Amino acid sequence: MKDILTAPFLNEMMQTTANMYRLGWDERNGGNISYLLEETEVSPYLDLSHVLRTLPLGFHAPSLEGRLFLVTGTGKYFKNVEKDPETNLGIIRIAKDGQTAELLWGYQDGGKFTSELPAHLMSHMARLSVDPQHRVVMHSHPTYTLAMNYVHKLNEKELTHTLWEMCTECIVVFPDGVGVLPWMLCGTNEIGEATAKKMKEFRLVIWGMHGIYGAGKSLDETFGLIETVEKAAQIYMLTAHLPRMNTIKDEQLKQLAEFFGVSYRKDFLNL
Ligand code: 13P
Ligand code: ZN
């Protein structure tokens, strides 16, 4: 067996959590990530027949039976992942019953997966149903995105439209827009179900006055989606209280989307 600490998927996760912490998006234990892994990428590092512990999921994830995920631990700090991955992360496999997680590696202090696992696994199911290449669900509390929640209308059309106006490339990066959920109790199956419903249509979902969820084919792509929203929200928060002298017009947003050949939410423009 190769040393798992040299596995590319683990190193990518360590770098991503460190970057998110460095950017101030993930204070204390804020944020969580789940990364769908292929058996072939994990098997050189782990004996997949050796289950350390089993943990009930608290919900049913039938279409994920046998799937492997690298998942951040509940209560764990992104700040600490890089120096102690085996305590702060875990690799789980969804058991045949679709209701149990088999722990194959990690959570070595007796810990368990993030309290937001319902939103993660339900979102994985939703994204896989529309994109077979999908692999990552990422939750974070980015500062300006969260600040914007308090001063901007929380509806999908207006929020997406404002974000698209803030940087020329926003409509190209997230042409599908940003889904929005009102404030809801976190850590529940209900917020998981609501997030997954939005994830059929959007790769980004705002949890009102809490944070954001992103989904993508890789850690880099998903990080980039959230990073772009956060940049746009930062520009909004730096300018919202000042007289607006210039703006990107809807006709120009349309030009951008057409030039870059992205399929965008036409109903989010006012043309
Ligand atoms: P966990 O520590 O359980 O991952 O929760 C952090 C969080 O951001 C809750 O929404
Ligand atoms: Zn959170």
Select which of 82, 86, 102, 116 is catalytic.
Answer: 116
Using the atom order of ligand 1, give the atom closest to the CA of residue 76.
2
Ligand nearest to the CA of 146: 2
Q: What local confidence, expressed as pLDDT, does residue 96 receive?
A: 98
Ligand nearest to the CA of 78: 1
Looking only at the bridges linking them, the beta strands covering 179-181 and 211-216 are: unpaired
* Residue 163 C-alpha from the chain's centroid: 18
pLDDT per residue of the chain (271 residues) written in tens, 0 to 9: 999 999 999 999 999 999 999 999 999 999 999 999 999 999 999 999 999 999 999 999 999 999 999 999 999 999 999 999 999 999 999 999 999 999 999 999 999 999 999 999 999 999 999 999 999 999 999 999 999 999 999 999 999 999 999 999 999 999 999 999 999 999 999 999 999 999 999 999 999 999 999 999 999 999 999 999 999 999 999 999 999 999 999 999 999 999 999 999 999 999 9
Selection from 144, 124, 131, 84 nearest residue 108 by Cα: 84
CA angle 241, 247, 250 (to 5 degrees): 130
Specify the CATH class of 1-114 in words: alpha beta
Claim: this prediction has a pTM higher than 0.85: yes
Q: What Rg value do the Cα atoms of the chain yield, rounded?
A: 19
Q: 251 an active-site residue?
A: no
* Residue 46 C-alpha from the chain's centroid: 26
Q: Please tell me the distance from the alpha carbon of residue 39 to that of residue 37, in angstroms, as a whole number.
A: 6
Fold of the CATH domain 116-271: L-fuculose-1-phosphate Aldolase (3.40.225)
Residue 164 burial (CB count, 10 A): 28
What residues are in contact with ligand 1 under a 6 Å CB criterion?
A: 29-32, 72, 74-75, 114-116, 139, 186
Fold match between domain 1-114 and domain 116-271: yes
Q: Please tell me the distance from the alpha carbon of residue 195 to that of residue 188, in angstroms, as a whole number.
A: 11
Q: What local confidence, expressed as pLDDT, does residue 82 receive?
A: 98
Report domain extents, the chain: 1-114, 116-271
* Residue nearest atom 6 of ligand 1, based on CA coordinates: 30
Q: What local confidence, expressed as pLDDT, does residue 221 receive?
A: 98
Strand partners, 91: 70, 105
